[in-house]
Structure 1
Amino acid sequence: MKAIILAAGYATKLYLLTKNRPKPLLKVGNQTILDSIVEKIVAVKELDEIFIVTNDKFHTHFEEWAKEATYGIKLTVINDGTLSNEDRLGALGDIHFVIEQAKVEDDLMIAAGDNLFGFSLVDLVSFYKAHEGNAISIYKKDDLKQLIRGDTANIDENCKIIGFEEKPTNVNYPYAVPTFYIIQKEGLTLFNDYRKEGYNMDANGTFIPCLLDHSTVYGYVFDEYRYDIGTLESYEQVQKRFANIKD
């Protein structure tokens, strides 16, 4: 299994902090957001390489981070070649770029590079293996204002995804869907097919219905914390949440 951490955004809503520093390398508590994610990924024994896809502006930042890292797993930083928010490839575009550039032919874990979360990726992989199908992480969210801003889903008694909507106008499903997926290797060609059809390559959630059309997808339900750091306000909130963590 391989993993991709999506870190090619320009974080324009956080420009006071991210104009000259990528968001995943901002510190929360005693470590960067990226280190928090990688610590959870390296616990997965099935994984043998982590790809960190970034842009040309911040490529050297991640290369320097990788040189200093001591995680005992292969870390490969991939530059998608973009220079600004206007010419970005988008999340799906970056996933496709890594698959093509690195010739990925293994099962693939995909992780957002700007989320802090409390659930175990070891448990997510165990769930994935037990269900023998694609897996996405989901959690119950009662705040309707939050639900309409992201992806939503519903599951049956076997945790099979039976409904999915991206940023719904009216909320029909109770689960929020952060970007922590495991895609079977047989499904990786769908990213190329999706791109050729001219679909939106910017939002992860637009791809899940395509995946559902071609294969079975299961929802791994977690109840631990998850923070999506997209604004100064959300960054300040997580700083307060982790303020008691010391070096």
Structure 2
Amino acid sequence: MTREYPKPLLEVKNKPIINYIINNLNSVKIIDELIVVTNSKFIGRFRQWKLRFKGRKKITLVDDRTKSNEDRLGAIGDINFVLRNRRIKDDLLVIGGDNLFSGNLNEFINFALKNKPNTTIGAYRLKNKNDASKYGVLKVGRDHRVVEFKEKPKRPNSSLVAMCLYYIPVEQLSLIGNYMKLNKNKVDATGKYVDWLKKKADIFCFVFKGSWFDIGDHKYLAAANKDFK
């Protein structure tokens, strides 16, 4: 769907998806900089977008220096690229650029801060459990800890799925690099990192309300244009 155009810049109701994400972030006072990671192929389009966009927070564009699917770093690889090149020494909020959601980010971050130094992931409960087979499926205990994670199971036992939305405390940033060294062939899907991390530390889950669309193809883009509020 987006070989020639980046998903975050696809429009929903005449506005790029990334605009919705940033507008949601504007209300989060503890965030002082927004880092947008893209590749060499699309960096020009993001520069054009940035010139037009009027935001409240500092926006930094990062080119991960890749040009195709063959040499792409993957989602975890891009996070690691930013950590190494920006020398980040603070908590990190990661949001997938094709995630369109209306839930309250302040509530998510307040929840995450209470559960530091552990990572917190955002989740959403689908109406149809069968649709969960396209995502990472979660089982969560009463204390909001993730007790089970399955990446795209054929027969999901839950309708609760992981969004590409993570609060990673500074204490756990080094684990990204550790994962990269051990799992060089599993850097594309963030769910694989969640599965790996779950075996090493507690992960907490915050369930978002409102609407959520993972813009993976034209069908979901059309649905978002119709139903997103």
Q: TM-score band, normalised by the shorter chain?
A: over 0.9
Stretches of structure 1 that go unaligned for 5 or more consecutive residues are 1-13
Deviation at 1:51, TM superposition (A): 0.7
Q: Hey, what does 1:5 align to over in structure 2?
A: none
Per-residue CA distance 1:134-185 (angstroms, 9 max, x = gap): 2111122252332111101111111111111111233234411111110111
Partner amino acid for 2:57?
I
* Aligned mates of 1:198, 1:151 — CA distance in 2: 18
Partner amino acid for 1:227?
F
RMSD, matched Cα: 1.6
Stretches of structure 2 that go unaligned for 5 or more consecutive residues are none
Q: Does 1:102 align with 2:86?
A: yes
* Aligned mates of 1:209, 1:26 — CA distance in 2: 30
- Secondary structure of 2:197's counterpart equals helix
* Aligned mates of 1:112, 1:53 — CA distance in 2: 10
- Secondary structure of 1:86's counterpart equals coil
Partner amino acid for 1:208?
V
**1:40–1:205 distance in 2 versus 1, CA, 3 Å:** same
* Aligned mates of 2:3, 2:147 — CA distance in 1: 41
Partner amino acid for 1:146?
D
- How many positions carry a matched residue from both structures? 227
- Secondary structure of 2:163's counterpart equals coil
Of 136-145 and 37-46, deviating more is 136-145
* Aligned mates of 2:157, 2:193 — CA distance in 1: 19
* Aligned mates of 1:213, 1:120 — CA distance in 2: 29
* Aligned mates of 1:103, 1:155 — CA distance in 2: 33
Q: Hey, what does 2:154 align to over in structure 1?
A: 169
Q: Hey, what does 2:166 align to over in structure 1?
A: 181
Partner amino acid for 1:188?
L
Q: Hey, what does 1:238 align to over in structure 2?
A: 224
* Aligned mates of 2:103, 2:96 — CA distance in 1: 14
* Aligned mates of 1:198, 1:213 — CA distance in 2: 14
Q: Does 1:191 align with 2:176?
A: yes
Per-residue CA distance 1:180-217 (angstroms, 9 max, x = gap): 11011111111111111134001000001222223221
Q: Hey, what does 2:190 align to over in structure 1?
A: 204
Compute the TM-score of the two structures, normalised by the length of structure 1: 0.86
CA contact (8 A) 2:164 2:190 kept: yes
CA contact (8 A) 2:35 2:59 kept: yes
Deviation at 1:19, TM superposition (A): 4.3
Identity of aligned residues (%): 32
Aligned residue among 100, 105, 121 for 1:136: 121
Compute the TM-score of the two structures, normalised by the length of structure 2: 0.93
